[in-house]
Each structure stands twice: as C-alpha cells, then as structure tokens.
Amino acid sequence: MAIVIFGDLFTFPDGNAATNRVFTYARGFVEQGINPYIVCFGNEYIEELEGLINGVRFYHPLGQKKRNKYFVIRRWHKLKKFFSAFLILKEINKKDKITGIICYTQLLQTQSYAFILSRMFKTKMVLEVSEHPLREYQRFLLKRIQGKVRVRFETRLSDGIICISQYLIDFYLKTGVPVKRLFLVPSTVDTERFQISERSMLNFEYILYCGHLNIRKDGVDILIKSFAQVSDKFPEIKLVLIGTGSPDEETLLKKLVSILNFEDRVYFLGQITRTEVPNYLKNAKVLALSRPPSIVADAGFPSKLTEYLAAGKPVIVTKVGEIPNYLTDGKNAFLAQAGSIEGFSDKLHFVLNNYELAKKVALRGKELTSTIFNYNFQAHRIIGFLNSLSYYRAS
C-alpha cells in the first residue's frame, strides 16, 4: 500500500516549512507500514531529481537541474512534467497500489491535476490546507469574489481536506463542506531529529529565530526591536536569524539593525540545510517567534513552533491563532501579547533573568511533541481518515 504526497509548495529532501510537514507525514507513514512517495510538482531546478531518504522515495517530475535560457524550451519542460508525473504515479501504482493522494498546493491547476490523477488510478485525493485560502483575496470586491469561486472549486475537487487548525475546519464548514470530509491535523514534528548532543556551531550564547525572514507574517522586525530593549542588560547574548526572505524585506530588516547600531549583536545566517537546523535550535539560549495578528496567524499554526518545542529550550511566542489552545504561559512556553514590542521584550527579560525556571517550562513544552504534535501519532490518524472517506466525494 502507498500514499503519494503531491504538490508544488515544497521541495525534497531540503526545503521550507511545507517540506518539514511533508517529511513528518512520510516518516509516520513508514512507521505505520505504508510506503510514502513524494512527488515535487513545482518548477524547481535541483541537483537530486529523485532519490530515497529514511525510507521515503521522492521525485521531481520537472526533471531539470538547471534553468534553460530559452523560454520555449522552459515552457516545454513545464508541460512535459505533467506527463512525467503521470508516468511516476503509474509506476508506483503498478508495484505498490496507491491508496490515497495528499495534495499540497495553492494552485487550482495543480489540485485539478492531482484530482484527475486520483480518478485515473481509482484512489482518493485529499487536499492539505495549512493557511487561509482567502489570504490573498482580501483587497477588492472582484478579488474577494474570485477567492470565493476558487474555494468552491477547491472543495469540490477533493474527497477530503486536512486542516492545520480548527479555524480552517470552521471556515470550510461554513462553505458547506460536510464534517466527515474535514480532518484536523496540527503542526507535526519528528522528535528523533532533536535527539542529538552536538556542540554549538556558534561560539556565543544566542536567542534564535528560524524561519522565513518576513515582517507581516512572523514579525521579525518586532523580535529585533524587542531584543534591542533588553540587549544592554544581557551583553553576552546575541540574536541569530536563520532563513531568507524577499529582497525588500531582508533589506528592511538589515536597515533596521543598522539604524539600531546592532550589527555586532544581530547575525543573519541565511538559509541552512534541514540537517543543520537541530544543532542551532538545541544550542540556543531561547527560541523566539513574535508573529503579529493577521488572517495568516488566525488560520495557521507555525511548524517552526513545534520544532522549537522539540528542541527542549525555552520558547517565547505570541498569543495568536490557536497557539493558546495548545500552550499555556508559564506552564509549557512563554506567551507574549501579539504585536507588542514591550510585551515581547518583557518575556525575553523574564526568561533570561529566571533561566532555571524557564528550562523546567521548556521540558514540559517538549512533552507535547511526544503526544499531540508527534508525527507517528498523527500519521496513524491520517491513515484512518483516508480509509473513512468514500472514493466518490460527497456532492
């Protein structure tokens, strides 16, 4: 039996938050006796076009390591990947019957093709939704109408929908999707990645943010300003930022650091590999996420947060979305008021001043990664959900 994870929001084996979620699903399926196959349907140019890692087979149907300089040839490659993906699934189904396709995309054309493939191979197709589907359709009336039409098609071109939050479950219920076709799977984490005891790759103590360097979604500017308010009291501690952002946002963040005259206290490390992440997290003094209020925060649940918890270090995060449903301030994490520089800096000050207490709180936070956020536990639930769905979706 096989489950195919198909989409264009991730690369594999290295990538972004979506890659982490896909990886945890796949690891869980392996341990549940199901063979996972990852089909990266994006237009990424990558050296390793297919391979096997931790029992997980992956493919990049675009099949190109470098971008061709000719537009017509690039278009041909993008069209050919549809046929290549079909051949990949045909081969998988021939040797290992596909029992379900999990589609991870924001493009209706990709979802439509995944749905067509599911019908060709007589299996079920489930849409994975980790962010609000209307977050980019808020500005104008015509855009909002376009978003509603898209959601209408999105819900009909799937047998079920996996949602990362109860907020999204409620959203789809309001659109008329039957409750039996909806399934809540919170952020998942592979705890084994953090069972290491390597020395720090940095020769100083640091507060760490690891993720996409952006302002609107994760409030990295708030974190920098909050750190600035406590930095004089803790001169031995630096702020480390891992990840990349858009050129404009990275420029703004670096300009902010320059204005604060903090070039020697704030380090931009850029993108690192997935295998390097645990070392940086486990050797941090504090792990921080200053996500501001937004429709993105309301609907989603940051995968970086569960990785923070798995590292077993004190976590400071803002009270947005469903985070307070899982975490309690002072019990298993430290929760700050969203959008408040002062509120976040107060939490930083408290944790650094009461570090022995903070470490005990961190251990209780880590316990959650063995239960509700555990990849194996959630993989078992997903398999049950797939088995509960009818092949022909509800009308």
- Residue-wise pLDDT for 339-348, tens only, equals 999 999 999 9
**167 plus 208 within the same structural domain:** no
Residue 395 lies in a domain: no
pLDDT at 394: 40
> Which helix (H) or strand (E) element contains residue 370?
none
363-366's contacts with Cβ under 8 Å and 24+ in sequence apart are 363/312, 364/331, 364/332, 365/309, 365/312, 365/315, 365/327, 365/332, 365/333, 366/309, 366/310, 366/311, 366/312
Closest by CA to 300, choosing from 24, 50, 18, 68, is: 18
Q: Give the domain CATH number at 99.
A: 3.40.50.2000
How many helices and strands in the chain, by DSSP H and E?
14, 14
pTM equals 0.88
pLDDT exceeding 90 applies to what percent of the chain? 76
The answer, yes or no, to whether residue 71 has pLDDT greater than 70, is yes
Residue 40 lies in a domain: yes
**97 plus 212 within the same structural domain:** no
Closest by CA to 102, choosing from 45, 22, 34, 169, is: 22
pLDDT at 395: 39
Count of structural domains within the chain: 2
pLDDT at 141: 77
Q: Which one of 30-34, 47-51, 135-139 scores highest in mean pLDDT?
A: 30-34
pLDDT at 392: 52
Cβ atoms < 10 Å from Cβ of 326: 18
**167 plus 296 within the same structural domain:** no
**16 plus 118 within the same structural domain:** yes
Residue 394 lies in a domain: no
The answer, yes or no, to whether residue 244 has pLDDT greater than 50, is yes
Q: What share of the chain is helix, strand, coil (3-state, %, to 5)?
A: 45, 20, 35
Provide the H-helix boundaries in 12-70: 17-31
Mean pLDDT of 226-235: 95
Contacts of 134 (CB under 8 A, 6+ apart): 144, 147, 148, 151, 295
The answer, yes or no, to whether residue 54 has pLDDT greater than 90, is no
The DSSP result for 78-113, as a single string, is HHHHHHHHHHHHHHHHHHS-EEEEEEE-S-HHHHHH
**225 plus 342 within the same structural domain:** yes
- Of 298 and 384, the structure prediction assigns the larger pLDDT to 384
**43 plus 184 within the same structural domain:** yes
Cβ atoms < 10 Å from Cβ of 119: 12
pLDDT exceeding 70 applies to what percent of the chain? 98
Mean pLDDT of 227-255: 94
Residue 111 lies in a domain: yes
Q: Which two tokens stand for residue 355?
A: 């570090």
Beta-sheet strands, E only, within the chain? 2-7, 35-40, 50-53, 56-59, 98-104, 124-129, 160-163, 182-184, 205-210, 237-242, 266-270, 286-289, 315-318, 334-336
pLDDT at 144: 76
- Residue 128 lies in domain: 2-188+374-388
pLDDT at 346: 97
The answer, yes or no, to whether residue 323 has pLDDT greater than 70, is yes
**184 plus 219 within the same structural domain:** no
pLDDT at 140: 76
Q: What confidence tier does 391 reach under pLDDT thresholds 50, 70, 90?
A: low
**pLDDT, tens only, 261-301:** 999 999 999 998 888 999 999 999 999 999 999 888 888 88
Three-state DSSP state, 50: strand
**113 plus 230 within the same structural domain:** no
**148 plus 207 within the same structural domain:** no
**pLDDT, tens only, 165-215:** 999 999 999 999 999 999 999 999 988 889 888 889 999 999 999 998 988
**298 plus 384 within the same structural domain:** no
Residue 274 lies in a domain: yes
